[in-house]
Structure 1
Amino acid sequence: MLNRFILSILLQGLILFLLGPACDASSLGLTVHAVPLDSDDGRTVVAHFTAIAPSPCPSLSGLCAAEDVDCMVHTTSLPFSGTKPDPGWCVRQWYKTVPSNYSDIISLGSDTEMYVSMNAGPKVRENSGRLNQPPYVALPPPLRARVNCPHHVHLSAKDLDGDKVRCRFARPEDDECMNCTEHSFIELDEEKCMLTFTGKAPAGQYFIHLMAEDLVPVPKMRDVTDHTPLSAVPVHLSLTVEESSSSCTDEPVAIGETPTEDSTMFVLPYEEVKFNINYMSELESVTEVAVVGPPELYRVGFNTVGPLAMMTMAWIRAENQLASLLPICFAVNTNNLQSEPRCVWLYQREMKTLPAGTELTCNDTEMTLVLPVASLIDIDLAELQLNSPTCPINYNDTYLTAHISLNGCGTKTVHAGSELVYTNTLQTVHTSIIRRVPSLTLPLACRIPGAQVKGPQYQISIPTEKETFGNVDFWIEVHLPGEGPLSKFTKFPKFRTLPVSPGRLRREAKLAKSESSDTSINTRDEVGSRLENLDLHLMSNCSIDRAELLVSNCIESETEDFAESHPILDQGCTASNDTLEIITTESTSKIYRLDLSNVQTQGSTMYIRCTVNLCISTLPSQECPDLCTRSLNQRSVVSSLFTKSYTISSGPVSLVVTTPAPKATVTPTPATTVAQTTDRAPEQASAMAAGVILATISILLQNVFLH
C-alpha cells in the first residue's frame, strides 16, 4: 500500500515536471575544439568553446572562476550577433583546461543551459607516435528553414592528423546528451556530415545534438573490422522552421569572389588575411550577414544594392591563445529567407624556434636581420627573397643579412590590437619546377607599442567614398510630364519596360516612342480632379564620368512617417506594369512615369521614399550591374565601386490639379489668321519635392582597390 502511495506521488511529480515550462533555454549552437596537452600526455585538453545564446545577450560572468588561471573568456571589440531568428542571438567564446574525457552543465547567463560531453583521448597514434588531435567542426549561424521546403546543411569539418571525420546523432544512453530528441524530419548522412531537413515539420524551433568522430583512414581494399573512433566531440545546432509562401528555390546564393566552401587560408604570424563575400537575393533584400568566427574578425563594408549584398572580412594573426584551426561561417538573412551557410578556415601555421644566433633589430626606418647560414641546411640561399625581390639579401659562409626598409621591400603595416606591426617574410622562391627540396618561410615583424601608436587600431585600405565619387548628394523631384529640369526627355519620352517584381526574369528592354499625348501629359484640367500621371525624378549631383545611379527600392505612402506603404520599385524592378522608366542620357539621374490610377494612395497627397546608390564600373568593357535580372553579370558586380546606400524622401506630393490650364489664345500674323492652341498641363502644389537623406546603410566597398 505504501509503495503504491509513493509511486503515485512520483508519477504526479513527473507529470507536473513534464507539463511545466522549461526553466532554461537551450543554446542555439555549440562546438568544442579540444587540443591535447603534451605536458601530461594528453590526459587534459584545452577546450575551446564557441556557443550561440539567444538574445538578450548573456553576460560573460560565471564562465570562468576568478581563481581559475586555466580558463579565459575571449572578449572582442566586434561581437558576433544577429537578429534572425527572432529575438536575435550572440556568440560567446572561451577556453578552459579540462580532462580529456569531460562532461558538464554550462550556464550562459540565467536563461541558457548546455550539457557538454566529449571523449578526447588520450590516444597515441601508431603512425606518428604523437597524441591524436580530435576533429574540428565549424559552427554555422543559427539555421533557418521553411515549412515544406527541403533544406541541406553541410557541416564543415577538418582534422589536423588527416583522419576521416564522421558525424552521428548524440546518444543519451551514453550520457552524450540530455533531453535530446532525434527528429523524424532531420536526416543525417554520417559519412558526409550532411544534415537534411525534409520540410515535414511545423513552424517552430528545434535542437540537434551531434557528435563528430575521427577515424584513421583505411584503403577500401583492406578488410578492417575495427572502426573504433579515436575521439568524439559535441556539435549542437538549432533549426528554426518558419512559415513562408515563396518558392523553395528563392534563397540568396553566393556569387562572384565569395570563398568556396571548406577552403583554407594559411596565416603567418602578424599576417593579415582578407576576403570579400557577395550574395544575390532576388526575392527580398538582405538585412544582415550572420557570421560566427574567431575573436577580432573584422567585418566592414556591409552594403546592399538591390538584390546584391556584399561585405569584406579580415583577420590579423597577433599573439593569441586560440586553436590552430579557426573556422569562419557565414550566411545572409532576409526577413524570411536564409542562404546556405558557408564555412572557410584559417590555419595558424606553427612556426619553429629560431636558430641560435638569429637577430632581428628594429629601428625607426628599417629592420635588420642576421641569420646563421649553418642553420639553413640544404636551403638554396640564392632562392631566398623578401616580399619585394628588388630588396637585396647578402650572405657569406657564416651569416645571411638583410636591411629591410619599413617603407619599402614589400613591408606591410598592420594593426594588431593596440600595436602597430611592420611585417615582411623571408622565403624560398623556387626557380625550378622541382619542389622536392627544402624551403624556408620566415616571418619577420617589428612591433610598436600601443602607447606610441596614433590613430585607429585597424584600417582596411579602401578608398573613401569622397575620394571616389566626391561630395555626393541625392534628392527626389516630382514633376508633371514634360516639365522640370529634364523636360527634354519627358515631353516626348522613350520608355523602358522593366520586369515586374517579384518575377525578376530579365526581358529585353522595350523602347517605344510616345505616340499620344496621354502618355506624356495630363488631360484633366479641372481644379481638384485627380492627376493621371506624374514623373518621379531621382537625382544626384555626382559629376564623375561613368558614374551611374542605381535605384533599389521606392515606396509611396499617404503619411510622412510611412506607417503604411506600398511599393513602386522593388529590387530594381517595378511593382506595376504601368510604371515605366523614361530613358535619358543622364546616367546619374532616373525618371519613372507613374500611372496614378494604380497608386494605392487614395487621398490628395502622397509621400515617396527611395533607396539609391551610385556605381562606377572600374573596367571600361563592363557596365554597372542591372539590378532587376536573374542573369546578373557577376563580373560586373566585383568590378564595380558603390557608394553607401542612401534612403531619401520627398516632401508632400499633390495628386490633384491645383491650377487650371490656360485657355486657348489666337495670335494674328501679317499673312493670315491662324488659331494656335496651347494646352499647358495644369500645375500641382509641391510638384517638386526635394529629397532628404534619412540613413546610410554601409560604406564604399570593392576589392579592386584593396591591397
Structure 2
Amino acid sequence: MRRKFKLSLLLLGLTLVLFGPACEASSLGLTVHVVPLDSDGGNTVRAHFTAIAPSPCPSLSGLCSAEEDCLVHTTSLPFNGTKPSPGWCVHRWQKTVPSNYKATINLGSNTEMYVSMNAGPKVRANSGRLNQPAYVGLPPPLRVRANCPHHFDLSVKDLDGDRVTCRFARPDDEECHSCTRHSFIELNEEKCMLTFTGNAPVGQYFIYLMAEDHIPAPKISHIQDNKPLSSVPVHLSLTVEESAYSCTDEALATGDTPKEDTTLFVLPYQEVQFNTDFTSQRESVLEVAVVGPPELYRVGFKSIGPLAAMTMAWIRSENKLPRLLPICFAAETKSLQSEPRCVWLYQREMRTLPDGTVLTCEKTAMTLVMPVASLRDINLEELQLNSPTCPVTHNSTHLTATISLTGCGTKAVHSGLELVYTNTLQSVRPYTMVSRKPSLVLPLACRIPGVQAKGPQYKLGMPTERDTFGEVRMWLELHMPGEGPLAEFTRIPRFRALRMAQGRVRREAESPSESNSTSTSTYDSEAIGSRITKLDLYVMSDCSIARAEMMVINCTESETEDFAVSYPIMEQGCSSSESTLEVVTTQTNSKVYRLDLSSVKTKGSRMYVQCTVNLCITTLPSQKCPSLCTSSVESRMLVNSLLTSSSTIRSGPVSLVVTTPAPTTTAVITTTMTATFTPAPATATTAANTSNSHAPEQASSMAAGVILTTIGVFLQVILLY
C-alpha cells in the first residue's frame, strides 16, 4: 500500500510538470529593435534589446565584453513594477551583431533568453535603401484572470510603411527553445492580436512570437509569394490569477491619456509630455507600470479611491537610441490590470546645417546667422521663432536673429548634467493656406554645463507635505446619534447618499427617531444589554487649513483587532451598502457617517473600525477636490490637488450593546503626519479637556486612532522643466 501511494505521488508530480504552467527561468518580456548598418550593406545590424527580468533585478556586468560594440543603457529612473509578484525590472542594451543572429543571453543567474532574428539584408526596390525591420512595443508583464477571456493588441510600427504581421515562433526553424504552444492562447496574425480564452489554470506562461514586415499589396491582389522582408523576436509573459471580480472590472484609461499607437514627433532637445488618467471602481491603482526609453520621467503619481493619474515626459538629448521609441504602460491594482497601451516617440532626422551657419551662445541670448543661399525655395517672410514677437531679419546675403534665453519662447530643459536652452526657427503659414512649397523646421540649442547651470530653471521642487498641511493628527470616533463634537449636525441630520436609493435617504431623514432627537440621545432609554441599532462614525482631523478637505477612501469593520476577517463599510469613497449615509456638516476637514448596525456583518458584542483617509487642498481656491462617489468624477482633478499620503487609522474596541456609562477618561492614541509617520505614544486625556476623545456612554473605548501604514507619498520633487 505504501509503495502504491509513493508511486501515485510520483505520477502526480510528473503530471504537474508536463501539463502545468511554464516555470523555466525565462524573461517576462523581450523585444529587439533592429537598425541595419549602411557601412557594410546591412550584413551587420545594431540590435536594441529591451528585456523584462523577474526580481531581484539581475546585474548586467557580463553582458558586454571588451572587444564588442556593445552598450548597456543606464537610467537614473529605473523601470520596475510589483505585479505580478515578486516584481520585475527592465534592462536595455544595444549590440552590433550579424543580420541573421541566434544566441542565448543570460541576465544574471536566474534569467535566460534564446534570441533568433532574420533581419536581411534586403535592399528595397522602391527606394534603393536597406529595409528597416518592424518595431513592436513591449508591454509590462501581462495579467489576466482565470475564466475571463481577454484580447491583447500588440502595438507595431514600421519605418518603411510596410504591413506588419505576427506569428508564433517555430522551434523547427530554431526560432525558440522549449516554446510550448498553449491551447488557451490564440493569435490573429494579420492584426497582431493575442486572445486568452480564459481556460487556463492559475500560473505564469510564456509566449514566443516573431514579427514580420511585408511589402504592402492592394487588397484585390492575390499575390501568393509575399515573403517577409525580416523576422524579429517578441517574447511575452502571461500571468493567470484568481479573482472574485467581474471580467469587466479592470481599470480604464480616461481623460487626457493618449490613444493607443499615438505618435509624438520629437526634435533635438525638445521635451514631450503627456498625462495618463485611470478610473478603477473595484480596487485602487497601486502603480502605473511603464516600459520605456532611458531617462523617461514618471512623476506626480496619485491614486485616490477610484482615481489615478501620472505624468510622463522625455527630453531628447544626444543619444544612440533607434528613431522609434515605444512607451508602453498599464495601471495595476491588487488583482486587476488595465488594457496595456503604447505611445510612440519618433526622433525626427535632422539634416546637417549648411556651410556658413553660425549659432553663438552668450550669457543672455543666442545669435543665429545663416546664409540666405542655403534657404533656396524657402519663403523668408514666413520664418518665425517660438514667439513671433522676436524679429527675424534678413538681407540679400544673410538671415539673422537674436534670441533671448528668457524670452522669445525659449525653453530650458535639463539633459543629463547640462542645462539646454532651446528654440525653433520654422515656417509659419496661415491655417487657411495650402502650399506645395518647402518649409523649414530648424531646432536651435545652447548647452550650458551643469557646473554653470544655476538658478530657478535648473531644479523645480514641490512643497513638502508638512509645508502644505502642517502638523496634522487624524483619528476615528464613534458616538450615539445626537452626541459627539458635531452633535449639532447629527441631532437633526441631513444626509448625503453614497450610491443609495433616494427613497432610503428620505426614510432615514424623516425617521422620528432621528428628527426628534435632542441633545439627550433617544437610545439612553434602551435596556442595558440590548443591541445598539445606530452609531455615528466620526473621521476626524485637526488640520487648521481652511481649504483642507477630508477624503475617506475605504472603511472596514471587524470583530478582531487584527482585522484578520473584515467586512467593507465604504469602498472607493462610496458606501458598500444602504446601511451607511454621510451626515452633511459644514466641516471640510472631518467626515461623519451614520451606520445602521442591523446590517453590519459583525454579530458579536463589539467591533473595530479601520479607515484609509487623505487630506486634499486644491491648487486654486476656485477648484474642488475630487468627489469620489459621483458619476462625473475625473482623474484630471487629481492633478489640480495637493494630497497627503494615504493613511490607515483604527478605532479601539466598539461596544455594540448598551452598557454602563463609560469612565470619564479615555485613552487616545495619536499620530502626527510627519515624513516618517512614526506613531506618538499613547496619552490619557480627560473628556473635559478635549471633546474629540469622548466616547458614547453606551459604547466604551471608542475614541482611538493610529496611523498604521503609509500607502504612497503624492507630494514629491519634480525634475521637469
TM-score (norm 2): 0.84
Superposed displacement of residue 107, structure 1: 0.7
Distance 2:457 2:107 in 1: 30
Aligned counterparts of 2:111 and 2:319: Cα–Cα separation in 1:
28
In structure 1, the residue matched to 2:592 is: 591
- Cα separation, partners in 2 of 1:659 and 1:399, compared to 1, 3 Å: farther
Q: Which runs of 5+ in 2 are unaligned?
A: 1-13, 664-694
Amino acid across the alignment from 1:369: L
**Residues 283 and 334, structure 2, Cα contact 8 Å, conserved in 1:** yes
In structure 2, the residue matched to 1:612 is: 614
Provide, for residues 276-317 of structure 1, a one-character-per-residue CA deviation record: whole Å limited to 9, x for no partner: 111111111111211111111111111111111111111111
Output one character per residue of 1:26-70: Cα deviation in whole Å (capped at 9) or x when no partner: 1111000000011111110000000111112111112111332x1
> Following the alignment from structure 2 to structure 1, what is the Cα–Cα distance between the partners of residues 610 and 20?
50
- State the 1:615 CA deviation: 5.5
User: How far apart, CA to CA, are the structure 1 residues paired with 2:541 and 2:397?
Assistant: 66
Residue matched to 2:415: 416
Shift of 1:470: 5.3
The aligned amino acid for 2:400 is T
Is this contact kept in 2: 1:474–1:538, CA < 8 A? Answer: no
Does structure 2 conserve the Cα–Cα contact (< 8 Å) formed by 1:150 and 1:197? yes
**1:425 Cα deviation (Å)?**
1.0
Give yes or no for contact 1:498–1:509 (8 Å, CA) kept in 2. Answer: no
Counterpart of 1:52 in structure 2: which amino acid? I
Amino acid at match of 2:167: R
Q: Aligned runs of 1:122-521 on 2, under 5 Å?
A: 122-431=121-430, 432-454=432-454, 471=470, 473=472, 475-480=474-479, 481-499=481-499, 510-511=505-506, 512-517=508-513, 521=521
Q: Does 1:549 align with 2:545?
A: no
What's the counterpart of residue 676 of structure 1?
Answer: none
Cα deviation code 1:468-503 (max 9, x no counterpart): x65483523414232333221111112233237xxx
Deviates more, 1:397-406 or 1:430-439: 430-439
Contact 2:277–2:636 at 8 Å: present in 1 too? Answer: no
Counterpart of 2:446, as a letter, is C
- For residues 631-646 of structure 1, the aligned pairs below 5 Å read 631-634=631-634, 637=637, 640-646=640-646
d(CA) in 1 for partners of 2:339 and 2:705? 41
Partner amino acid, structure 2, of 1:87: P
With over 3 angstroms needed to count, the CA separation of the structure-2 counterparts of 1:635 and 1:479, relative to structure 1, is closer
Q: 2:20, 2:662 → 1: CA distance?
A: 74
Partners in 2 of 1:439 and 1:426 — Cα distance? 11
Q: Deviations for 1:87-114, whole angstroms, at most 9, x for unmatched residues?
A: 2111111000000111101111111111
Contact persistence 1:474–1:648 (CA under 8 A): no
Q: Is the 8 A contact 2:208 2:234 kept in 1?
A: yes
Question: Residues 18 and 332 (structure 1 numbering): CA distance in 2 closer, same or farther, change over 3 Å?
Answer: closer
Q: Tell me the distance in 2 between the aligned counterparts of 1:58 and 1:601.
A: 51
SS at match of 1:513: helix
CA drift at 1:428: 1.1
CA–CA distance in 2 between the matches of 1:23 and 1:213? Answer: 28
User: In 2, distance between residues paired with 1:454 and 1:381?
Assistant: 36
Root-mean-square deviation (CA), in Å? Answer: 3.4
| Residues 303, 645 of structure 1: 8 Å contact kept | no
8 Å CA contact 1:616–1:640 kept in 2: the answer is yes
Q: Distance in 1 between matches of 2:455 and 2:707?
A: 32
Give 1:107's aligned residue. 106
- Cα deviation, 1:537-582, whole Å, max 9, x if unaligned, reads 2345667777643321123456666565443211112234322211
> Which position in structure 1 is the counterpart of 2:710?
695
In the other structure, the counterpart of 2:46 is 46
- Corresponding residue number in structure 2 for 1:670: none
8 Å CA contact 1:29–1:51 kept in 2: the answer is: yes
When residues 22 and 558 of structure 1 are mapped into structure 2, their CA distance, relative to the original with a 3 A threshold, is closer
Change over 3 Å in CA distance of 1:550–1:661 after alignment to 2: closer
Q: Which residue of 2 aligns with 1:34?
A: 34
Mapped contact 1:476–1:648 kept (Cα < 8 A): no
Q: Deviations over 1:120-173 (max 9, x none)?
A: 111111011111111100001111111111100000000001111111111111
Equivalent in the alignment of 2:697 = 682
Partner of 2:64: 64
Q: Which moved more, 1:227-236 or 1:572-581?
A: 572-581
For 2:370 and 2:616, the matched residues in 1 are separated by 52
CA 199–696 in structure 1, closer or farther in 2 if over 3 Å, else same: closer
**Pair 304,170 (structure 1): closer, same or farther in 2 beyond 3 Å:** same
Percent identical residues: 62
Q: Is residue 23–residue 204 contact of structure 2 (8 Å, CA) maintained in 1?
A: no
Contact 2:662 2:700 in 1 (8 A): no
| Structure 2 contact 285–303 (Cα < 8 Å) conserved | yes
CA deviation map 1:380-415 (0-9, x unaligned): 111111111111112111111111111111111111
In structure 2, what is the Cα distance between the partners aligned to 1:527 and 1:245? 41
Quick one: structure 1 residues 338 and 578, their matched pair in 2 at CA, closer, same or farther if it must change by over 3 Å? Answer: same
Contact 1:476–1:536 under 8 Å retained in 2 = no
Q: Which residues of structure 1 form unaligned runs of 5+?
A: 1-13, 501-505, 663-679
Equivalent pairs, count: 664
Instruction: Say if 1:118 and 1:176, in contact at 8 Å, map to a contact too.
Output: yes
Kept in 2, the 8 Å contact 1:258–1:276? The answer is yes
Q: Distance in 2 between matches of 1:638 and 1:392?
A: 40
- Does structure 1 conserve the Cα–Cα contact (< 8 Å) formed by 2:53 and 2:89? yes
Aligned residue for 2:710, secondary structure, equals strand
Moved more, 302-311 or 321-330: 302-311
